[in-house]
Amino acid sequence: MSFFDRLSERIDAVDSVVSVGLDPDPDRLPEQVQGAELPRWAFNRRIIDATHEHAACYKPNAAFYEDPDGWRALAETVAYAHGKNVPVLLDAKRADIGNTARQYATALDTVDAITVNPYLGGDSLQPFLDRTSKGVFVLCRTSNPGSGDLQELELAGGEQVYERVASLASTWNTGGNVGLVVGATAPAELETVRELVGDLPFLVPGVGTQGGDERAAVEYGLGDGVGLVNSSRGIIFAGEAATGHDDPARYFGAAGEAAKRLRRRLNRFR
Amino acid sequence: MSFFDRLSERIDAVDSVVSVGLDPDPDRLPEQVQGAELPRWAFNRRIIDATHEHAACYKPNAAFYEDPDGWRALAETVAYAHGKNVPVLLDAKRADIGNTARQYATALDTVDAITVNPYLGGDSLQPFLDRTSKGVFVLCRTSNPGSGDLQELELAGGEQVYERVASLASTWNTGGNVGLVVGATAPAELETVRELVGDLPFLVPGVGTQGGDERAAVEYGLGDGVGLVNSSRGIIFAGEAATGHDDPARYFGAAGEAAKRLRRRLNRFR
């Protein structure tokens, strides 16, 4: 069964396209988990408990797990999310060549999907694309202010680089497992990319803390109803603003409420 | 002291611009190290013992360390290389945005330099660039067959994408810590990039197993005498072809010989 078929079932089951970004910034973990053996895992477990009924997907960003305890925390997190029937997309933005790309692709042994960077070209992504039961989201138009430095350069034929990446990604999609990353902070580009690639599912980051356009994220991000709209800090650290936030129930309850509210807002546009 | 000043001293001290890629592919580790608690670290330690007198730098690729034992093996490897006075360049090809990029940049707490991917734009690299005592090598023109998919696209003004990346990298170099990755499999492009960026040091992969042009690697890869020419498998797995390769002394001795020979070949062009 393909990743997008499984994701489609999950979206139907929870009536949600919300991706919850699991970015346990060590500087922001609440005191309640800091005494745990693996604080990031203790944090993620409670976030998953609080949010899984509203989550189509969990998206841990690899940057927050790159140390010995981090990889253990990530492995526990993935297993726990799977126990709640939620797929896991590793936001790794990886790209390398030859035997090194093959090594990076082994990350797909444990997670359901991954994000990759297209700068090195199609052959660098082949070891990921070959895993046809897994999802491969290619960075296309990112949500940061400097994304235009390369992505918006105009090519000799008139298209911009990110448009060419979208078209290339379509040609790389022989296994039916390719998606695109297009930020909600660029609603016009979301529409442009959607017109270029038919029904490819998008992962749309940039709503929440980054202030992206939720309507455009849903309207253009879903391909045949399948896609993901991600919020990370806006959900997992929602408890920082909660009254009585040193009470674990309130702190993590606020994350659950934030995920639920985002689901409701996004569902108005589905 | 900047990374490039330290690298320059190291190049002078060993009369070598050889970067030894530490990519301990688990499928190729010799039996002698497979019983060790951390086989990758046991392997790297012996490779370092055998090659350090010929090495300007060690370049572990992060792909081979992405699990709990892997990050421990990497930490031991970095410390051991430093004990031999050899700087360490982490080949991570990282890129991400905002707080996530800042998190990735903490890798520079322990290593001396890193490779990064420019697709997300200048702001995504700022947390790396801000570490002005560390080296930041920006992917420009990579050594794989598909590198042309994006890197050689022609822009409206006539330049190609990799040329624009080279020019952008020059503008990002306000801290004097930026280098470029340009593959030896593209000798003409090496010359083009050198003309664009003055004295920026290059990391040139693709000699050895990939068959790149060693003369061009040295002639265009060094900026004011500073730069690195990398071989990974051609050095660290040279022992596979050695007579009596199940004898550790012969197996690792072959790696030392391979590093020494590459140094000699490259030095003919310096």
Look up residue B153 and give its DSSP letter.
Answer: P
Task: State the smallest CA–CA distance between residue A195 and chain B in angstroms.
Answer: 21
Query: Please, which residues have CB within 8 angstroms of residue A115's CB and are 6 or more apart in sequence?
Result: A89, A90, A91, A92, A93, A94, A137, A138, A139, A181, A203
- Quick check: A47 and A5 in contact, CB under 8 A? no
Pick from B63, B68, B122: which is nearest to A103 by CB? B63
- Say how far apart CA A146 and CA B174 lie, in whole Å: 17
Q: Name beta bridge partners: A229.
A: A18, A204
- Edge to edge, the sheet with strand A135-141 lists A57-60, A18-22, A228-231, A202-204, A178-182, A135-141, A113-116, A89-94
- Say how far apart CA A212 and CA A56 lie, in whole Å: 19
Handedness of CA A47, A49, A54, A55 (dihedral sign): positive
Question: Which segment of A11-20, A182-191, A206-215, B230-239 scores lowest on mean pLDDT?
Answer: A206-215
Pick from A69, A121, A210: which is nearest to B148 by CB? A121
Residue B270 lies in a domain: no
Best mutation target among B29, B65, B99 (most A Cβ atoms within 10 Å) is: B99
- Quick check: A52 and A81 in contact, CB under 8 A? yes
Residue A212 has pLDDT above 90, yes or no: no
**Nearest Cα to A82, choosing from A58, A106, A105, A54?**
A58
DSSP B213-247: -HHHHHHHH-BTTB-EEEESHHHHTGGGGSTTTTS
H/E run at residue A21: strand A18-22
Best mutation target among A37, A65, A96, A129 (most B Cβ atoms within 10 Å) is: A96
**Nearest Cα to B270, choosing from B209, B231, B228, B210?**
B228
Asked whether the beta carbons of residue A71 and residue B68 sit closer than 8 angstroms, the reply is yes
Pick from B61, B107, B155: which is nearest to A154 by CB? B155
Q: Mean pLDDT over all residues of chain A?
A: 96
Q: How many CA atoms lie within 13 A of B105 on its CB side?
A: 21
Cβ contacts (< 8 Å) between B152 and chain A: which residues?
Answer: none
> What is the domain range of residue B118?
3-265
Task: State the smallest CA–CA distance between residue A50 and chain B in angstroms.
Answer: 23
Query: Please, which residues have CB within 8 angstroms of residue A227's CB and are 6 or more apart in sequence?
Result: A17, A179, A201, A202, A203, A204, A221
Best mutation target among A77, A117, A154, A231 (most B Cβ atoms within 10 Å) is: A117
What is the pLDDT, as a whole number, of residue A90?
98
Neighbours of A14 (CB within 10 A): 17
Cβ contacts (< 8 Å) between A166 and chain B: which residues?
Answer: none
Asked whether the beta carbons of residue B66 and residue A156 sit closer than 8 angstroms, the reply is no
Return left, alpha or beta for A208; rule: phi > 0 is left, psi -120 to 50 is alpha, else beta. left
Q: What is the mean pLDDT of residues A29-39?
A: 94
ipTM, 2 dp: 0.96
Residue A7 exposed, middle or buried by CB count within 10 Å (0-12, 13-18, 19+): buried
Of all residues in chain B, the one with the smallest CA distance to A156 is: B156
- Say how far apart CA B60 and CA B88 lie, in whole Å: 8
Residue A122 exposed, middle or buried by CB count within 10 Å (0-12, 13-18, 19+): buried
Asked whether the beta carbons of residue A146 and residue B124 sit closer than 8 angstroms, the reply is yes
What is the pLDDT, as a whole number, of residue B244?
86
Neighbours of B246 (CB within 10 A): 11
Q: For residue A209, name the pLDDT band (cuts at 50, 70, 90).
A: confident
Of all residues in chain B, the one with the smallest CA distance to A151 is: B119
Cβ contacts (< 8 Å) between B139 and chain A: which residues?
Answer: 119-120
Q: Tell me the per-residue pLDDT of B119-152, one tens digit each, with 9 for 90 and over.
A: 999 999 999 999 999 999 999 999 899 999 999 9
Task: State the smallest CA–CA distance between residue A103 and chain B in angstroms.
Answer: 6
What is the pLDDT, as a whole number, of residue B220?
97
Tokens read off for B242: 């050695």
Residue B163 lies in a domain: yes
Q: For residue A152, name the pLDDT band (cuts at 50, 70, 90).
A: very high
* Active site members of A: 93
Asked whether the beta carbons of residue A97 and residue B161 sit closer than 8 angstroms, the reply is no
* Per-residue model confidence as pLDDT tens for chain B (270 residues): 999 999 999 999 999 999 999 999 999 999 999 999 999 999 999 999 999 999 999 999 999 999 989 999 999 999 999 999 999 999 999 999 989 999 999 999 999 999 999 999 999 999 999 999 999 999 999 989 999 999 999 999 999 999 999 999 999 999 999 999 999 998 999 999 999 999 999 999 989 777 889 999 999 999 999 999 999 999 999 999 988 888 999 999 999 999 999 999 999 999
CATH assignment at residue A248: 3.20.20.70
Residue B76 exposed, middle or buried by CB count within 10 Å (0-12, 13-18, 19+): middle
Cβ contacts (< 8 Å) between A68 and chain B: which residues?
Answer: 68-69, 71-72, 75
The strand pair at A18-22 and A57-60 is best described as parallel
Q: For residue A200, name the pLDDT band (cuts at 50, 70, 90).
A: very high
If one counts the domains in chain A, the total is 1
Task: State the smallest CA–CA distance between residue B13 and chain A in angstroms.
Answer: 31
**Nearest Cα to B146, choosing from B185, B198, B89?**
B185
Pick from A70, A75, A96: which is nearest to B93 by CB? A96
Cβ contacts (< 8 Å) between A61 and chain B: which residues?
Answer: 96, 100, 103
What is the pLDDT, as a whole number, of residue B243?
87
Q: What is the pTM of this model?
A: 0.97
Residue B133 lies in a domain: yes
Task: State the smallest CA–CA distance between residue B73 and chain A in angstroms.
Answer: 10
CA angle A156, A158, A159 (to 5 degrees): 105
H/E run at residue A39: helix A39-51
Q: What is the mean pLDDT of residues A200-206?
A: 96
